[in-house]
Each structure stands twice: as C-alpha cells, then as structure tokens.
A and B are shown apart, each in its own frame.
Chain A
C-alpha cells in the first residue's frame, strides 16, 4: 500500500492560514487522498478527501499536485480549536477501506 510522509509538527499563529503538506510519491491512479484530524482525547474526524481536483468544504481546502505525488491541506484561518494531529491517508479501491494511518502532523496554534 502506498505510504504518506508528513512533517512531525508545525506551528501557526491564530487567524492565519495553515498549509499542511503530505508527500505520497508512490500513489496509484485509483488512490483517494483523505485527511483526518484527531483533537486531544478524541477519536479521529474526517476533514476532506479528493482524487485529482482541488476540493473545498466548510472545514478546509485540499490542493492536489498535478502529478498527484503531493497534496496540501489548507486551513484558511487557524483557530485554537484546530490544534490537533492531522493525518494524510491514501485509500485504494482494490485494497478497500482499511484506513492505515501514517505518523501525522501535530499542529500547534499560537494565540
């Protein structure tokens, strides 16, 4: 299964945009790129997903490189409630829905 690489930690100032990168150089054509986040003492929660095109929802935007070997989760205005571990996950149709988590990025938001 394809792997993802993320920085261990990042910091952002409150109310500023945050760009969380993810490398997935061995991605296959059928892999969907998913992002989940885990707030302290909670279960993971879905953030966004995409295949080829950039995606927007109420929580964030997902920018996918043209070659699909990397993607960036964009939080437009970080709040203290966005402090969490963010996981980039690849999900492949033949392998199904296993949701293998990588190490993730721990985001600290500075007031």
Chain B
C-alpha cells in the first residue's frame, strides 16, 4: 500500500466553525507533512512531523493546529479561518526526516473553502 489518504476531499466551512482534516498512511513512514497550495501556485510547506513530534512550523497562524496522534495519522485542526485560507491542503509522508534520498508520497488533497 503506497497511498496517502486524505479526508474529506472537499470541505466548506464558515469563519466561526471548527473542522479537522485527516491524513493517513500505512507505509511505516515516520515523517509527515502538511502543505497549503493556492491556485496556480506551488505547494507551501506548513508543518513537518518526525516520529510524531513537530519538527518544523513555518510560522503558520495559530488558527491552524496540527496533531500527530500516532505514526500513521496526521490531523490538521482548523478554527476561525479566514476566506484567504481557502486552498488545497496536501499531506505527504516519507520514510524518515533525514533520509533525503527517498521519495515522498502525497495525498490528493482536501479542497477547503472558507465562507
């Protein structure tokens, strides 16, 4: 199984709502990532988890709260978002944080619309 599964595929939420994005992989990978991608732009790194610990936070606003409850699961909790946060949110995983000669696997993303 070489898949990274993201749910839901689409999400519409109001600015006062709380929602969560979920990402799952069963490849035994110990590094997991969240990216944000606006239309016609490259993905922008948000967070990196290594062995279930937050390793990198790219100065992301606190209305985005990541969580890695176990080695297979990565969540992104959303609260009080703004319309400009509407984007495609991508999850990825790779074997280990320090192994740069291996590939990463990306999910298909969650298309988020904030109204």
Contacts and interface: CB of A to CB of B under 8 A. Distances in A.
A97 B100 contact: yes
Interface stretch (A45-53, A62-70, A75-83): A45-53
- Chain A residues touching B, majority SS: loop
B48 to A, nearest CB: 6
B13 interface: no
Interface string A30-51: 0010101000001111100101
Nearest to B103: A46
B90 A44 contact: yes
Interface residues of B, number: 28
Contacts of A101: 42-44
Given A43-B90, A104-B42, A96 B97 contact: yes
Given A43-B90, A46-B104, A93-B100, A98 B109 contact: no
Contact of B98 (A34, A87, A97): A97
B99 A97 contact: yes
Contacts of A51: 101
A14 B35 CA distance: 32
B45 interface: yes
A24 to B, nearest CB: 14
10 contacts: A34-B103, A36-B104, A44-B106, A46-B103, A46-B105, A97-B31, A97-B33, A97-B94, A99-B33, A104-B42
